[in-house]
Amino acid sequence: MSAPVLETENLVKVYGRGESRFDALKGLTFEIHEGESVAIVGKSGSGKSTLMHLLALLDEPTSGVVAMDGRPVSQLKPAQVSALRNDTFGFVFQQFFLNANQTVLENVILPLKIAGVSASERKRRGMEVLEQLEMADKAKNKANDLSGGQKQRVCIARALINQPTVLFADEPTGNLDTATGEVVEDILFGLHRDRGITLVVVTHDDDLASRCDRRLLMQDGLIVADDRGEAAKAAGAGVGQASREGSRQVGGHGKHAAPATADGQPASGQDTETGTKTGEGQA
Ligand SMILES: Nc1ncnc2c1ncn2[C@@H]1O[C@H](COP(=O)(O)OP(=O)(O)OP(=O)(O)O)[C@@H](O)[C@H]1O
Ligand SMILES: [Mg+2]
Protein backbone atom coordinates (compact mmCIF):
# COMPACT_ATOMS: atom_id res chain seq x y z
CA MET A 1 0.00 0.00 0.00
CA SER A 2 1.13 3.55 -0.68
CA ALA A 3 2.72 5.75 1.99
CA PRO A 4 0.47 7.54 4.44
CA VAL A 5 0.01 11.13 3.35
CA LEU A 6 -1.74 12.11 6.58
CA GLU A 7 -1.46 10.49 9.99
CA THR A 8 -2.99 11.30 13.32
CA GLU A 9 -2.05 10.09 16.75
CA ASN A 10 -4.37 10.40 19.71
CA LEU A 11 -5.96 13.49 18.24
CA VAL A 12 -8.01 15.47 20.77
CA LYS A 13 -10.04 18.63 20.30
CA VAL A 14 -11.73 20.37 23.20
CA TYR A 15 -13.86 23.44 22.68
CA GLY A 16 -14.50 25.91 25.49
CA ARG A 17 -13.60 25.41 29.14
CA GLY A 18 -15.17 24.91 32.53
CA GLU A 19 -18.89 24.34 32.30
CA SER A 20 -19.00 25.01 28.60
CA ARG A 21 -16.21 22.55 27.86
CA PHE A 22 -17.00 20.19 25.01
CA ASP A 23 -14.83 17.28 23.96
CA ALA A 24 -15.37 17.19 20.22
CA LEU A 25 -12.61 14.67 19.40
CA LYS A 26 -11.57 12.14 22.01
CA GLY A 27 -8.33 10.64 20.76
CA LEU A 28 -8.21 9.53 17.13
CA THR A 29 -5.37 7.54 15.61
CA PHE A 30 -5.45 6.63 11.94
CA GLU A 31 -3.69 7.05 8.59
CA ILE A 32 -4.82 8.23 5.22
CA HIS A 33 -2.81 6.86 2.32
CA GLU A 34 -1.86 8.52 -0.90
CA GLY A 35 -4.53 8.11 -3.55
CA GLU A 36 -7.20 6.86 -1.15
CA SER A 37 -10.75 8.14 -1.14
CA VAL A 38 -12.06 8.36 2.39
CA ALA A 39 -15.58 9.24 3.50
CA ILE A 40 -16.06 10.58 7.01
CA VAL A 41 -19.61 9.76 8.05
CA GLY A 42 -21.67 9.98 11.22
CA LYS A 43 -24.47 11.87 12.87
CA SER A 44 -24.67 15.63 13.13
CA GLY A 45 -22.37 16.85 15.90
CA SER A 46 -20.23 13.70 15.93
CA GLY A 47 -17.08 15.70 15.06
CA LYS A 48 -16.70 15.25 11.29
CA SER A 49 -16.03 18.87 10.36
CA THR A 50 -13.83 19.34 13.41
CA LEU A 51 -11.70 16.41 12.26
CA MET A 52 -11.61 17.66 8.69
CA HIS A 53 -10.42 21.10 9.83
CA LEU A 54 -7.59 19.54 11.81
CA LEU A 55 -6.55 17.29 8.92
CA ALA A 56 -6.61 20.24 6.54
CA LEU A 57 -4.42 22.23 8.95
CA LEU A 58 -7.07 24.92 9.30
CA ASP A 59 -7.22 24.45 13.07
CA GLU A 60 -4.94 23.01 15.71
CA PRO A 61 -5.66 20.08 17.99
CA THR A 62 -5.84 20.50 21.77
CA SER A 63 -3.44 17.58 21.98
CA GLY A 64 -2.16 14.79 19.78
CA VAL A 65 -0.38 14.80 16.47
CA VAL A 66 -1.22 15.48 12.86
CA ALA A 67 1.62 14.42 10.58
CA MET A 68 1.94 15.15 6.90
CA ASP A 69 4.22 12.90 4.85
CA GLY A 70 5.58 11.52 8.09
CA ARG A 71 6.38 14.89 9.63
CA PRO A 72 4.45 16.23 12.64
CA VAL A 73 2.89 19.52 11.59
CA SER A 74 3.62 21.05 15.00
CA GLN A 75 7.30 21.02 14.05
CA LEU A 76 6.68 23.36 11.14
CA LYS A 77 6.69 27.16 11.28
CA PRO A 78 3.38 28.90 10.57
CA ALA A 79 4.64 30.09 7.18
CA GLN A 80 5.59 26.52 6.29
CA VAL A 81 2.14 25.30 7.28
CA SER A 82 0.49 27.93 5.09
CA ALA A 83 2.72 27.05 2.17
CA LEU A 84 2.02 23.36 2.63
CA ARG A 85 -1.70 24.01 2.74
CA ASN A 86 -1.62 26.23 -0.31
CA ASP A 87 0.54 23.87 -2.36
CA THR A 88 -0.88 20.52 -1.35
CA PHE A 89 -4.52 20.93 -0.37
CA GLY A 90 -7.70 21.90 -2.11
CA PHE A 91 -10.88 22.71 -0.18
CA VAL A 92 -14.51 22.38 -1.12
CA PHE A 93 -16.13 23.69 2.04
CA GLN A 94 -19.56 25.21 2.11
CA GLN A 95 -18.48 27.96 4.42
CA PHE A 96 -15.83 29.08 1.95
CA PHE A 97 -18.26 31.15 0.00
CA LEU A 98 -17.62 32.50 -3.39
CA ASN A 99 -17.31 36.24 -3.65
CA ALA A 100 -20.72 36.98 -5.11
CA ASN A 101 -19.72 40.18 -6.89
CA GLN A 102 -16.61 38.87 -8.51
CA THR A 103 -16.69 36.95 -11.74
CA VAL A 104 -16.40 33.18 -11.84
CA LEU A 105 -12.86 33.45 -13.20
CA GLU A 106 -11.81 35.92 -10.49
CA ASN A 107 -13.09 33.58 -7.83
CA VAL A 108 -11.30 30.59 -9.30
CA ILE A 109 -7.88 32.24 -9.62
CA LEU A 110 -7.82 33.73 -6.14
CA PRO A 111 -5.43 31.05 -4.74
CA LEU A 112 -3.00 31.77 -7.59
CA LYS A 113 -3.14 35.48 -6.79
CA ILE A 114 -2.23 34.65 -3.19
CA ALA A 115 0.60 32.47 -4.46
CA GLY A 116 1.95 35.33 -6.57
CA VAL A 117 1.37 33.82 -10.02
CA SER A 118 1.41 36.30 -12.94
CA ALA A 119 -1.87 37.66 -14.33
CA SER A 120 -1.57 35.98 -17.72
CA GLU A 121 -0.69 32.61 -16.19
CA ARG A 122 -3.57 32.97 -13.73
CA LYS A 123 -5.99 33.51 -16.55
CA ARG A 124 -4.62 30.63 -18.60
CA ARG A 125 -4.86 28.16 -15.73
CA GLY A 126 -8.20 29.54 -14.58
CA MET A 127 -9.76 29.00 -17.99
CA GLU A 128 -8.20 25.56 -18.26
CA VAL A 129 -9.77 24.33 -15.04
CA LEU A 130 -13.12 25.97 -15.86
CA GLU A 131 -13.11 24.09 -19.15
CA GLN A 132 -12.54 20.83 -17.32
CA LEU A 133 -15.64 21.52 -15.26
CA GLU A 134 -17.63 22.71 -18.27
CA MET A 135 -17.95 26.18 -16.82
CA ALA A 136 -15.77 28.14 -19.27
CA ASP A 137 -18.78 29.84 -20.84
CA LYS A 138 -19.65 31.30 -17.43
CA ALA A 139 -16.16 32.69 -16.75
CA LYS A 140 -17.28 36.31 -16.98
CA ASN A 141 -20.56 35.90 -15.11
CA LYS A 142 -20.88 37.15 -11.57
CA ALA A 143 -20.68 34.22 -9.17
CA ASN A 144 -24.01 35.34 -7.75
CA ASP A 145 -25.82 34.58 -10.98
CA LEU A 146 -25.10 30.86 -10.99
CA SER A 147 -27.22 27.91 -9.99
CA GLY A 148 -26.30 25.95 -6.85
CA GLY A 149 -24.64 23.16 -8.79
CA GLN A 150 -22.70 25.65 -10.90
CA LYS A 151 -21.49 27.42 -7.76
CA GLN A 152 -20.34 24.12 -6.39
CA ARG A 153 -18.43 23.44 -9.60
CA VAL A 154 -16.76 26.85 -9.28
CA CYS A 155 -15.74 25.91 -5.73
CA ILE A 156 -14.25 22.70 -7.10
CA ALA A 157 -12.48 24.62 -9.88
CA ARG A 158 -10.99 26.93 -7.27
CA ALA A 159 -9.95 23.95 -5.17
CA LEU A 160 -8.17 22.43 -8.17
CA ILE A 161 -6.35 25.46 -9.46
CA ASN A 162 -3.24 24.75 -7.41
CA GLN A 163 -3.23 21.13 -8.53
CA PRO A 164 -3.57 19.78 -5.01
CA THR A 165 -2.63 16.25 -4.09
CA VAL A 166 -5.26 16.10 -1.35
CA LEU A 167 -8.79 17.38 -1.80
CA PHE A 168 -10.98 17.97 1.25
CA ALA A 169 -14.71 18.32 0.73
CA ASP A 170 -17.24 18.94 3.49
CA GLU A 171 -20.73 17.99 2.31
CA PRO A 172 -19.96 18.69 -1.35
CA THR A 173 -23.39 17.53 -2.44
CA GLY A 174 -25.26 18.65 0.67
CA ASN A 175 -27.33 21.46 -0.82
CA LEU A 176 -27.77 20.01 -4.25
CA ASP A 177 -30.61 18.13 -5.88
CA THR A 178 -29.90 14.49 -6.68
CA ALA A 179 -28.99 15.00 -10.34
CA THR A 180 -26.62 17.90 -9.70
CA GLY A 181 -25.17 16.06 -6.73
CA GLU A 182 -24.31 13.19 -9.03
CA VAL A 183 -22.51 15.50 -11.44
CA VAL A 184 -20.40 16.92 -8.61
CA GLU A 185 -19.78 13.44 -7.28
CA ASP A 186 -18.63 12.20 -10.68
CA ILE A 187 -16.23 15.12 -10.96
CA LEU A 188 -14.69 14.34 -7.58
CA PHE A 189 -14.29 10.64 -8.31
CA GLY A 190 -13.02 11.40 -11.81
CA LEU A 191 -10.20 13.42 -10.26
CA HIS A 192 -9.52 10.66 -7.83
CA ARG A 193 -9.35 8.07 -10.60
CA ASP A 194 -7.56 10.05 -13.29
CA ARG A 195 -5.11 12.07 -11.25
CA GLY A 196 -4.72 9.89 -8.19
CA ILE A 197 -5.84 12.73 -6.00
CA THR A 198 -6.43 11.78 -2.36
CA LEU A 199 -10.04 12.49 -1.51
CA VAL A 200 -11.29 13.14 2.02
CA VAL A 201 -14.99 13.83 2.05
CA VAL A 202 -17.46 14.45 4.86
CA THR A 203 -20.90 13.39 3.77
CA HIS A 204 -24.36 12.38 4.86
CA ASP A 205 -24.97 10.94 1.42
CA ASP A 206 -24.80 7.13 1.59
CA ASP A 207 -24.27 6.80 -2.11
CA LEU A 208 -21.30 9.14 -2.10
CA ALA A 209 -19.87 7.39 0.96
CA SER A 210 -20.24 3.97 -0.64
CA ARG A 211 -18.22 5.06 -3.67
CA CYS A 212 -15.22 5.80 -1.46
CA ASP A 213 -12.46 3.25 -0.83
CA ARG A 214 -13.05 3.61 2.86
CA ARG A 215 -15.57 4.91 5.35
CA LEU A 216 -14.69 6.25 8.79
CA LEU A 217 -17.77 6.26 10.98
CA MET A 218 -17.73 8.85 13.75
CA GLN A 219 -19.78 8.79 16.90
CA ASP A 220 -19.43 11.25 19.78
CA GLY A 221 -15.90 12.28 18.89
CA LEU A 222 -14.58 8.79 18.20
CA ILE A 223 -14.07 6.66 15.13
CA VAL A 224 -16.21 3.60 15.81
CA ALA A 225 -15.78 1.84 12.46
CA ASP A 226 -13.19 1.90 9.70
CA ASP A 227 -14.77 0.11 6.81
CA ARG A 228 -12.90 -0.80 3.62
CA GLY A 229 -15.18 -2.54 1.20
CA GLU A 230 -13.52 -5.26 -0.81
CA ALA A 231 -14.89 -3.95 -4.07
CA ALA A 232 -13.70 -0.50 -3.20
CA LYS A 233 -10.29 -1.86 -2.38
CA ALA A 234 -9.99 -3.54 -5.73
CA ALA A 235 -11.07 -0.39 -7.53
CA GLY A 236 -8.90 1.80 -5.36
CA ALA A 237 -5.13 2.14 -5.63
CA GLY A 238 -4.97 -0.84 -7.91
CA VAL A 239 -2.81 -2.79 -5.50
CA GLY A 240 -2.91 -6.53 -5.98
CA GLN A 241 -3.94 -7.32 -2.45
CA ALA A 242 -7.63 -7.14 -3.00
CA SER A 243 -7.84 -10.22 -5.15
CA ARG A 244 -6.20 -12.31 -2.47
CA GLU A 245 -9.04 -11.58 -0.15
CA GLY A 246 -11.79 -12.31 -2.56
CA SER A 247 -14.18 -9.76 -3.91
CA ARG A 248 -17.10 -9.52 -1.59
CA GLN A 249 -19.20 -6.68 -2.78
CA VAL A 250 -19.64 -4.04 -0.16
CA GLY A 251 -21.37 -0.79 -0.89
CA GLY A 252 -21.96 -1.12 -4.60
CA HIS A 253 -21.31 1.58 -7.15
CA GLY A 254 -23.79 3.24 -9.34
CA LYS A 255 -26.82 3.06 -7.10
CA HIS A 256 -27.98 6.58 -6.64
CA ALA A 257 -30.01 6.83 -3.50
CA ALA A 258 -31.82 10.00 -2.60
CA PRO A 259 -29.60 12.37 -0.66
CA ALA A 260 -29.84 12.56 3.09
CA THR A 261 -31.95 15.25 4.61
CA ALA A 262 -30.61 18.71 4.10
CA ASP A 263 -29.59 19.70 7.59
CA GLY A 264 -27.46 16.83 8.41
CA GLN A 265 -29.74 14.18 9.76
CA PRO A 266 -28.06 11.12 8.41
CA ALA A 267 -30.15 8.87 6.28
CA SER A 268 -30.62 5.50 7.83
CA GLY A 269 -27.50 3.72 6.73
CA GLN A 270 -24.95 5.00 9.21
CA ASP A 271 -24.49 1.55 10.59
CA THR A 272 -22.63 0.90 7.32
CA GLU A 273 -21.99 -2.65 6.33
CA THR A 274 -21.97 -4.80 9.37
CA GLY A 275 -18.98 -6.87 10.20
CA THR A 276 -16.90 -5.92 7.20
CA LYS A 277 -14.19 -4.11 9.04
CA THR A 278 -11.19 -5.45 7.26
CA GLY A 279 -7.46 -5.36 7.03
CA GLU A 280 -5.94 -2.41 8.79
CA GLY A 281 -3.32 -5.11 9.12
CA GLN A 282 -0.30 -4.83 7.00
CA ALA A 283 0.05 -1.05 6.76
N1 LIG B 1 -16.20 26.53 17.86
C2 LIG B 1 -16.88 25.67 18.61
N3 LIG B 1 -17.11 25.92 19.92
C4 LIG B 1 -17.77 25.03 20.70
N5 LIG B 1 -18.28 23.86 20.26
C6 LIG B 1 -18.09 23.57 18.96
C7 LIG B 1 -17.38 24.46 18.07
N8 LIG B 1 -17.36 23.88 16.84
C9 LIG B 1 -18.00 22.72 16.96
N10 LIG B 1 -18.45 22.52 18.22
C11 LIG B 1 -19.17 21.36 18.73
O12 LIG B 1 -18.41 20.20 18.46
C13 LIG B 1 -19.25 19.12 18.03
C14 LIG B 1 -18.77 18.60 16.69
O15 LIG B 1 -19.01 19.60 15.71
P16 LIG B 1 -18.74 19.34 14.17
O17 LIG B 1 -18.98 20.61 13.46
O18 LIG B 1 -17.41 18.71 14.02
O19 LIG B 1 -19.87 18.26 13.86
P20 LIG B 1 -20.24 17.53 12.50
O21 LIG B 1 -20.09 16.08 12.72
O22 LIG B 1 -19.50 18.14 11.38
O23 LIG B 1 -21.79 17.84 12.39
P24 LIG B 1 -22.72 18.21 11.10
O25 LIG B 1 -23.01 16.91 10.43
O26 LIG B 1 -23.93 18.80 11.73
O27 LIG B 1 -21.96 19.18 10.24
C28 LIG B 1 -20.67 19.68 18.03
O29 LIG B 1 -21.33 19.28 19.19
C30 LIG B 1 -20.47 21.17 17.99
O31 LIG B 1 -21.53 21.82 18.66
MG1 LIG C 1 -20.06 19.39 9.74
Q: Which domains does the chain have, with CATH numbers?
A: 4-237 (3.40.50.300)
- CA distance linking residue 246 with residue 122, whole number of Å: 47
Confidence of residue 281 (pLDDT cuts 50, 70, 90): very low
If one residue of 11, 14, 22, 206 were mutated to test the ligand 1 pocket, choosing by the most ligand atoms within 8 A of its CB, it would be 22
Q: Is the CB of 22 under 6 A from ligand 1?
A: yes
Higher pLDDT, 179 or 193: 193
User: How much is the pLDDT for 8?
Assistant: 97
Encode pLDDT of 64-90 as tens digits. Answer: 999 998 999 999 999 999 888 888 999
Which ligand 1 atom sits closest to the C-alpha of 266?
25
Q: Is 193 exposed, middle or buried (0-12, 13-18, 19+ CB in 10 A)?
A: middle
Bridge-partner residues for 147, per DSSP?
Answer: none
User: How much is the pLDDT for 182?
Assistant: 86
pLDDT at position 6 over 80 = yes
- CA distance linking residue 140 with residue 223, whole number of Å: 44
If one residue of 20, 25, 26, 46 were mutated to test the ligand 1 pocket, choosing by the most ligand atoms within 8 A of its CB, it would be 46
Ramachandran assignment for 150, one of left (phi > 0), alpha (psi -120 to 50 degrees), beta (any other): alpha
Amino acid at 113: K
User: How much is the pLDDT for 266?
Assistant: 35
Amino acid at 194: D
For the chain, the three-class secondary structure string (H helix, E strand, C coil) is CCCEEEEEEEEEEEECCHHHCEEEEEEEEEEEECCCEEEEEECCCCCHHHHHHHHCCCCCCCEEEEEECCEEHHHCCHHHHHHHHHHHEEEEECCCCCCCCCEHHHHHHHHHHHCCCCHHHHHHHHHHHHHHCCCHHHCCCEHHHCCHHHHHHHHHHHHHCCCCCEEEEECCCCCCCHHHHHHHHHHHHHHHHHHCCEEEEECCCHHHHHHCCEEEEEECCEEEEEECCHHHHHHCCCCCHHHHCCCCCCCCCCCCCCCCCCCCCCCHHHHCCCCCCCCCCCC
If one residue of 25, 43, 48 were mutated to test the ligand 1 pocket, choosing by the most ligand atoms within 8 A of its CB, it would be 48
pTM: 0.78
User: How much is the pLDDT for 264?
Assistant: 34
- CA distance linking residue 24 with residue 127, whole number of Å: 40
Mean predicted lDDT score pLDDT of the chain: 81
255, 207 contact by CB (below 8 A): yes
Encode pLDDT of 93-150 as tens digits. Answer: 866 678 989 999 999 999 898 888 999 999 999 999 999 888 999 999 999 999 888 8
Q: Which residues lie closer than 8 Å to 72 by C-beta, 6 or more apart? A: 65, 66
Encode pLDDT of 234-273 as tens digits. Answer: 444 433 333 333 333 323 333 333 333 333 333 333 333 3
User: How much is the pLDDT for 42?
Assistant: 97
User: How much is the pLDDT for 26?
Assistant: 98
From the CA of 45, which ligand is nearest?
1
User: How much is the pLDDT for 166?
Assistant: 95
Nearest to 150 by CA among 137, 166, 165: 137
Question: How far does the centroid of ligand 1 lie from the alpha carbon of residue 22, in Å?
Answer: 9
Nearest to 28 by CA among 45, 43, 3, 48: 48
From the CA of 262, which ligand is nearest?
1
Rg of the Cα trace of the chain?
Answer: 19
